[in-house]
Structure formats: structure tokens, C-alpha cells
Amino acid sequence: MPSDLAALWGPAGAGNRPPRVLGLFAHPDDEVFCVGGTIARCAAAGATTAIVSLTRGEAGQIRDATAATRRTLGAVRAAELARAGDALGVDHVTCLDLGDGRLGKQPLTEVAATARAVIASFRPDVVVTFGPDGATGHPDHAMSCLATAEAIRTTADPPRLLHARFPVQEQLLLDVLVAWLTSHDERFTGTAEFGHALKLIADGCSMLGVAADHFDVEWFPAGSSIIEQGEFGTELFCILSGSADILAEGADGHVHDLATVGPGCFVGEDEIATRCPRKAHVVAREDVTCLVLSPGRADPSAGRDAGGAGTEPAGTERFAVDVHAALDHKVAALAAHRTQYALGADLLPRTLLESLFATEHFTVAQPAHAAPAEESHEHAVL
């Protein structure tokens, strides 16, 4: 095992046999953000790996209407999970059916019994799940954490338990995108698909707190100004629909038509890079919608420390895993979840993917209490 994965195994080390790593989550796609790169690296290094989703994700959104319907979503997402597992090189992928959106309301003992059966059958050395607040506050995520902890508490010879953590990041996607856009000699020309992928990623990042941008979608009726020449602005606009003219006004009042831009194109990046007033007007040719990125979080409570810094006991051990080496696998796994992340694996800039996905953070859960004797026999009896 590479030495930087040693933090995963803890003081006991990985032992003599190939180590076994289990990711146990609430929904298909949770695994990508929580442990995707790390489990891919473990698999590549010879570990035996498994991912289990407690539900089929049938209550989730359908971001690509061609990929599923409300009736088919559960089956489609179970198949997406299998493909994501393949992309990550995971050995065993299981999608259970405890009820998306209802998991958090089920009795802890029942969900814990399922988690205990999963652990008893795979016999992992390490289990990764959500932290107590479920990263996004989703009750199903929180239940997957509680049930896993309860299962481990009542398992003899328990595995090491890790929580995926999403620390508040101060980085701005805006800065990453501006650096990338201004590194091109020619203006970047995107597509509506690119704009959609960027918006989905921006939504996800906003929810997990991995970027400190304020994201908004704004509408500009035909003929209105998206940007006015001479103003100072810190917003970056990605056109999602419609088209706009870039018009430079000379000192004599003459207006030069510099370019027309459409879906997936950006405006405003140059002046953010140079910190100069806007050099041109950008005017909507027809009704235009834009994804607008600006510094500052939309909601100060978003992006809270999902590792639960406020509730963690003092001395809680944390570590991070660099997953650059597995980034392609992780992005391919994300793209496998087509109903949730309608993006091609090579659609978004590499620098953006690296800034968002190349580090995974974990908290070591406090050791479980010793299992009472009668409970420790439970799965032997079953």
C-alpha cells in the first residue's frame, strides 16, 4: 500500500492479507464525493473493495430527462452505481432498497441490522460513511452514519470507522475558471451541455461547501445589458441559453461589434483577471440566461464544516488523501451517474476538476464501545 494510504488503516496497519475497504452510504452517487478517489487508489494498490448503497436513489432528481423517468429512476440509478463502481475499480457493488427519502425515518435498530449484515458478510478492515450531519444535512445521509456506527458498536472485532468530511473551502471556482479562460489565445467556445455540466457542478459544490462562490442564474431580456462598458465588476457570466453581442464603444461613440457569444461561452473574465473596468458592453440579442459566479457564499450556513467540527470531541483525528492519481476514475464515476451529473468525463477543465475533486478528507470516528457479550454473538446466532 502506498504510504499516504497508511492513515486509512490506522495504528494497526493493513495486516498481512490484502486490506478490505467498504464504503457504506445512503444513495447511489454518495460514494463518488465521499471516497471515490480514495477507494479507487486502494483498489489499484491491491485492496479488496466494496461499495454499498442502502437505497436505490429513486426519490432523487432527474437531471437528464432522457436517462430515466420517475418510474425507472431506482433501477437506472442502481445500474449507474454498478458502472461507477467499475470506473473506480471496486470489486463488489451492492444497491439495497431501504427506501430513498425514507431511510432517515426508519428505526435505527432496523437500518443498523442491515448495516451489520453488510459488515458481517464483507468483513472490512475499514468502513467509510458520512459524518453525523450527513454532509448536506440529508436525513438519509445522517441515518447511514448513525446506523453504521451502531452496527460497528455491536460487532465483535469491529473495523475502523471513518467519516467523509467536507471542510469549508475558501477557494473560488471563479478564480480557477478565470485563470483557465485567460490561458487560451482564442476565446473559449462552449456548448449548452458544457453550461449545464458547470451549473450542476456549481450546485453540488455549493451544497458541499467546497467552493466559496455565490452562484446564481439570472435572466436578461432581449436588448438588455449583461455587462456595461466602464463599470467595475467581479462577476463571471457563463451563458446558459440565448446569445449576446460583445460591443466596444470608442471615444467617438462609435460601437464596434467584437463578437457574438452563445451557450457555454463566458463573458467578463478578462476584467476580473486584470482588475480593470469592463472593456465592452455585452448585450442580450435575445432573452439570455446566465450562470453568474461571484465571490462570497450565497448562504453563510452553506458549506459549514460537514465533518461536524462543532460536535467532534477534542483531539479527533483527521487526515486527507491526495487522489490526483485516481482523478480520471473519479470523474468517470461521476459521469456514470448520468441522471445526477449530466456531464461528459472530459467536458470540464482539468484545473477545475483538480481544485474540486483531487483531495478527500476524513475523520477517524471515536472507537466504538465494546459490544456487550450477548450482542456480540448476534450475527453468529443469525
Residues 92-121 that bind Zn ion (CB under 5 A): none
Minimum distance between the CB of residue 312 and Zn ion, rounded to whole angstroms? 22
Residues 14-33 that bind Zn ion (CB under 5 A): 27, 30
| Beta-bridge partner residues of 289 | 219, 241
Indicate the residue among 145 and 197 with the shorter CB distance to Zn ion: 145
Which grid coordinates are listed for 112? 443498523
How many residues in the shown chain lie near Zn ion by CB under 5 A?
2
CB 73 within 8 A of CB 339: yes
Indicate the residue among 281 and 338 with the shorter CB distance to Zn ion: 338
Report the C-alpha gap between 230 and 244 in whole angstroms: 18
Residues 22-81 that bind Zn ion (CB under 5 A): 27, 30
Which grid coordinates are listed for 121? 458478510
Report the C-alpha gap between 311 and 134 in whole angstroms: 13
Strand extents, DSSP E, the chain? 20-25, 48-53, 92-95, 126-130, 160-165, 213-220, 225-227, 236-241, 244-249, 255-261, 266-267, 281-284, 288-295, 318-322, 359-364
Minimum distance between the CB of residue 61 and Zn ion, rounded to whole angstroms? 11
Indicate the residue among 84 and 282 with the shorter CB distance to Zn ion: 84
Minimum distance between the CB of residue 27 and Zn ion, rounded to whole angstroms? 3
Indicate the residue among 60 and 195 with the shorter CB distance to Zn ion: 60
Report the C-alpha gap between 323 and 355 in whole angstroms: 11
Minimum distance between the CB of residue 11 and Zn ion, rounded to whole angstroms? 31
Indicate the residue among 125 and 140 with the shorter CB distance to Zn ion: 140
Indicate the residue among 140 and 150 with the shorter CB distance to Zn ion: 140
CB 353 within 8 A of CB 207: no
Minimum distance between the CB of residue 225 and Zn ion, rounded to whole angstroms? 40
| Beta strand 255-261 pairing with 244-249 | antiparallel
Minimum distance between the CB of residue 138 and Zn ion, rounded to whole angstroms? 6
- Strand order, beta sheet including 225-227: 225-227, 281-284, 244-249, 255-261
Indicate the residue among 5 and 205 with the shorter CB distance to Zn ion: 205
Indicate the residue among 147 and 288 with the shorter CB distance to Zn ion: 147
* Alpha-carbon radius of gyration of the chain: 23
133 binds Zn ion (CB under 5 A): no
Minimum distance between the CB of residue 327 and Zn ion, rounded to whole angstroms? 21
Minimum distance between the CB of residue 189 and Zn ion, rounded to whole angstroms? 34
Q: Helix 73-88 vs helix 30-44: angle between axes, to the nearest 10 degrees?
A: 30
Chain centroid, CA 65 distance in Å: 21
Which grid coordinates are listed for 202? 456549481
Report the C-alpha gap between 300 and 1 in whole angstroms: 40
Indicate the residue among 27 and 361 with the shorter CB distance to Zn ion: 27
Which grid coordinates are listed for 311? 460536535
Indicate the residue among 27 and 338 with the shorter CB distance to Zn ion: 27
Chain centroid, CA 71 distance in Å: 25
Which residue's C-beta sits nearest to Zn ion? Answer: 27
Minimum distance between the CB of residue 84 and Zn ion, rounded to whole angstroms? 13
Residue-by-residue DSSP string for 168-194: -----HHHHHHHHHTT-SSPP---HHH
Which among 39, 34, 37, 77 has a CA at the least distance from the CA of 55?
77
Minimum distance between the CB of residue 152 and Zn ion, rounded to whole angstroms? 21
Report the C-alpha gap between 323 and 37 in whole angstroms: 5
- Residues interacting with Zn ion, by CB under 5 A? 27, 30
